[in-house]
Amino acid sequence: MKCQPWYRSVVGAAWGFTGAVAMVAPTHAEELGSAGDGRFALEVKACPTVSTQSIRLILGIEIGDLLLGETERVPAGADRLTIRCAGNFAWIEAAGPADKAPLEQLLRLDDFPGDAVPRALALAGLELLAARSSIVRERMVGKGNAAPPPRSEPSRRSAVPASKVAAPELKSRSAVSKRETRIGLAGSWRLFLVEHGPSAWGGQVQASTTLGRMWQLTVDGEVAGGSNEVRQLGSTSVLLLSCGATFGVRSGGNQLGASLGLGGRVGGVRLSGTSADPAAVSAATVWRPWGGPTLAASLLGGFGRLALTLGAEAGQSLLAPEGQADGMTAISIRGAWAAIFLGASIRP
């Protein structure tokens, strides 16, 4: 028998080892590519108004035992579904092993009725988990196949995964904001920024309603009064009755929000004089219309149904009612005005 050179033996051994690795590598790669057993842990943080148990219940109904129990140990490779709340927003994240980037979604909690918030959060979380895990998708597909199809729809609808059915429902609720109506009372201070313009204190009855996600309509009724002194002759007083309306944009939610709008104010004013010497100087009372366009801004902050409101208004009088004394202007409702309101409101 002839002995082969040493380098041929080394090359043959190397080829044999390479072939063995090539046969084993596909199986190992396939195991690394799997998503484990599909089980995941739920963590809800800083959501005092949302029931964690309700979220767990809905997740359990949808995908059964893939949700780890509260006391179960979380495996190293398991996914995590985290829900964090901040004001009217909820941030949902599905994360797991480092080989996959986390998925996240942001929801406005006030886009849903109070009892529907846990379901909205659970369905949004399932949508993210299904995008990460094939096992979660298969479980949801299986659940969809088991459900009986609606009588009014073809039977093939039953093969649609639950995640695909839930997503449009979630988007449609987010697209249409729930209408919010408030009524309230406020104190007011109004100043006419002209010579002899009065400073008037009073009160308002206010009402507002949201129209869609970013529009707001506000109306009010106001009664306010003030006076000016006329040297050596007496005084003049003013009683302002008016109604205002503004339409504009809004931002924020039920607990903290702001609005800015354009509108108008119309009403009547009673101008009345008081004589220091009725025998020598006569006094009279007259009613005149007043009003003009307005620019208004407001802030709202509160808890639950109650809220404090702070508002400001600027306007320009299109009419010029005034009172005179001894041939000179004693009080004038003309030109520009500014007003501030502070009060409270409630959602009926």
Whether 281 has a pLDDT exceeding 70, the answer reads: no
Instruction: Spell out a b/e string for 63-84, using b for 16 or more CB atoms within 10 Å of the CB, else e.
Output: beebbbeeeeeeeeebbbbbbe
Q: Name all domains of the chain by residue range, CATH numbers in brackets.
A: 40-175 (no CATH), 181-346 (2.40.160.20)
Whether 168 has a pLDDT exceeding 70, the answer reads: no
Select the highest-mean-pLDDT range: 53-57, 121-125, 177-181, 295-299: 295-299
Output 172 or 328, whichever has higher pLDDT.
328
Output 229 or 186, whichever has higher pLDDT.
186
Give residue-wise pLDDT tens across range 189-233.
Answer: 999 999 888 999 999 999 999 988 789 999 999 999 998 888 767
Token couple for 210? 């949201």
Q: What is the spatial distance between Cα 74 and Cα 43, in angstroms, rounded to a whole number?
A: 11
Average pLDDT of 256-262?
94
The terminus-to-terminus CA distance of the chain in angstroms comes to 104
Q: What is the spatial distance between Cα 43 and Cα 59, in angstroms, rounded to a whole number?
A: 13
227, 198 contact by CB (below 8 A)? yes
In terms of DSSP H, where are the helices of 34-116? 52-63
pTM equals: 0.52
